[in-house]
A and B are shown apart, each in its own frame.
Chain A
Amino acid sequence: MMSLLQQIEASGFSQWVKQSGSLWAFPGILLMHTYGMAILVGIITGIDLRILGLMPAVPLGPLRRFFPLVWTAFWVNAVTGTMLLAADATSKMRNPDFGIKMLFIVLAVITQRMIQTRVFGDPDVDAKPFSSNSKMLAVMSLVCWLGAITAGRLLAYVGNPGGL
């Protein structure tokens, strides 16, 4: 396992990301990761807060039109995140904080799927107040994304930081 990670880390791509000094390499990939986060968590935060009762005049149903944008941002971050992981595979995979981040993201994605099917799936979503289950999902979503952001930022500080 370790030798595979070492091979990945030694690959031309990983070396380019880490050591080329190009603004398109580490800085550019991390920039895309940050834009992805801003779009993904930005829009989801709005939806969660709406479910929790803020901005009552905004109907929730139409916000489903943002889902393609949300999932595009998610996949941008999955790809850029994999690139960043490849550049620093050995230390990230040994860093428990990275595992915590992945756990939060898996839970956040499951929560997002559940919000889309259960809350948005209801054709009368805007006709009645949100159930406590819906609100629970919104809280869960906010907590998981907050956890993912926190664990992600701390990757630069805990374990064996390989980058910024």
Chain B
Amino acid sequence: MIDILSNTSHVHLLLNHVPTTAFVVALVLYVVSLFNGSEAFKKAGLAMFFLIAAVAIATYTSGSAAEAWLRGVGAKSDLPPDVVPAAIHEHEDAALWATGLMLLTGFFAWLALWQWKTIKRLPSWNTPLVLVLAVLSFVAMSRTAYLGGHIHHLEIRPDVVARHQACLALVDEEVKHPGSVPNAPENCPWQAAADQVNASGGSDPAGAATPNLARRLGDFVIGHTWMWPTLETLHFVGLCMLFTVVLIVNLRLLGAIRMVPVSAVYQMLPIGMLGFAVNLVTGMLFFVGIPSQYNANPVFYWKIVFVLLGGLNVMYFMLVDDAWRTPSDRDVTAGPRIAAASAIVIWVCVLYCGHMLPFIGNAF
């Protein structure tokens, strides 16, 4: 088990099915709710959009780690011969778009769940916005999955398939009419077709030498001296906004400031989600800037685990209605209390892991 979970390549294979297969379930629930008006279906769809967006963070980062794992370390580190490097770059760019769209969908899905409790009726723009974002996310993520398949499955790469079939045709011709095809190969291994594609620079010979979108974005981040300090400062600002909510809301749930109704502190939640959004965007830019700092960094791995737990924790709170109706001078029940204490522990751990990235791991 430990072996499986410490192999980042395997972790990526585990996670990469969630943003497509689970997302289609969420999308179906959501679309059905638009026709039958079921609140339960709609809430389930929105909650799934949010949770799958959280998983998409781990899927994206584990993908980068998977490439590093595949290359290995040391002087002879390289991709296996069956892998077409251009396929990884195409997959990474598609993943960047898809993850971005999915995170946006998750954000507005959360906002819908939040608004549900405060104003009873959703604002008219939210439902179509979430629908459009979800459909775009699904299309982009499906494309990412398709391109990801190309990395190891030569038999679904159109460029490799074309060469393989051309080769088979030549051999067939030579077998039927011996001597008709000079230099005909004896047989047609898939690897030979992949080698030819690799030799010609992949499916996009002209673009093979130019960095892909993710790398260009990364180069923009590390190419400007002001960029990294600015992102770090914003990361601290987002952290403070997140802790505004983590502390005030959860301490109320645990019994501090009991004279304040829980329904009132509920109004604070978007500040925390906005802080998290700031940190997610700045954090992703750090990651895209220098992925090698995080790919094999155990503290980063744990940070992502705790962020996922944080996502689950948030969803628990979005789906328990009773706790948020607690008036002043009343305590919430045991469930929300445990969740509130967990929330504080989870975010303290996220901050710990983030802080220790350069000290225990290899980031700076």
| Contact-size category for A | 35 or more
CB atoms of A58 and B267 under 8 A apart: yes
**Top 3 closest A-B pairs, CB basis?**
A42-B243, A57-B264, A27-B359
Docked complex Cα distance between A63 and B264 (Å): 12
Known interface pairs A57-B263, A62-B259, A62-B260. Does A23 touch B247 (Cβ–Cβ under 8 Å)? no
A128 at the interface (CB under 8 A from B): no
A105 at the interface (CB under 8 A from B): no
A 48-67 contacts with B by CB, 8 A: 49, 54-59, 62-63, 65-66
Docked complex Cα distance between A26 and B246 (Å): 26
Contacts A/B (CB < 8 Å), 20 sampled: A23-B360, A27-B356, A31-B352, A31-B355, A34-B351, A37-B239, A43-B248, A46-B268, A46-B271, A49-B271, A55-B268, A56-B267, A57-B264, A58-B265, A63-B257, A66-B257, A153-B229, A153-B233, A154-B233, A164-B364
The interface of chain B, by Cβ under 8 A from chain A, is 229, 232-233, 236-237, 239-248, 251, 256-257, 259-261, 263-265, 267-268, 271, 348, 351-352, 355-356, 358-360, 364
Known interface pairs A39-B243, A39-B247, A42-B240. Does A153 touch B351 (Cβ–Cβ under 8 Å)? no
CB atoms of B356 and A58 under 8 A apart: no
| A residues in contact with B355, CB < 8 Å | 27, 30-31, 34
A45 at the interface (CB under 8 A from B): yes
Q: Chain B interface mostly helix, strand, loop or mixed? A: helix
CB atoms of A43 and B244 under 8 A apart: yes
Kindly list 5 other residue pairs between chains A and B, CB separation below 8 angstroms, not including A37-B240, A42-B247, A57-B264.
A31-B355, A43-B244, A59-B259, A66-B251, A145-B240
| B residues in contact with A57, CB < 8 Å | 261, 263-264, 267
CB atoms of A45 and B240 under 8 A apart: yes
CB atoms of A65 and B256 under 8 A apart: yes
CB atoms of A38 and B351 under 8 A apart: yes
Docked complex Cα distance between A49 and B247 (Å): 15
Chain A 79-115 interface 0/1 with B at a Cβ cutoff of 8 Å (1 = within)? 0000000000000000000000000000000000000
CB atoms of A23 and B240 under 8 A apart: no
| B residues in contact with A156, CB < 8 Å | 229
Of the candidates A27, A34, A57, A65, the one having the most CB atoms from chain B within 10 angstroms of its own CB is: A57
The interface of chain A, by Cβ under 8 A from chain B, is 23, 26-27, 30-31, 34-35, 37-39, 41-43, 45-46, 49, 54-59, 62-63, 65-66, 69, 145-146, 149-150, 153-154, 156-157, 164
| B residues in contact with A164, CB < 8 Å | 358, 364
CB atoms of B359 and A46 under 8 A apart: no
Q: Who on chain A is nearest to B271 by CB?
A: A49
Q: Who on chain B is nearest to A149 by CB?
A: B236
| B residues in contact with A42, CB < 8 Å | 239-244, 246-247
Of the candidates B240, B241, B348, the one having the most CB atoms from chain A within 10 angstroms of its own CB is: B240
Docked complex Cα distance between A138 and B316 (Å): 33
| A residues in contact with B239, CB < 8 Å | 37-38, 42
Docked complex Cα distance between A37 and B238 (Å): 12
| A residues in contact with B360, CB < 8 Å | 23
| B residues in contact with A66, CB < 8 Å | 247-248, 251, 256-257
CB atoms of B244 and A65 under 8 A apart: no
Docked complex Cα distance between A23 and B358 (Å): 11
Q: Which of B233, B263, B264 is in CB contact (< 8 Å) with A149?
A: B233
Docked complex Cα distance between A72 and B205 (Å): 61
CB distance from B246 to the nearest CB of A (A): 7
| A residues in contact with B256, CB < 8 Å | 65-66
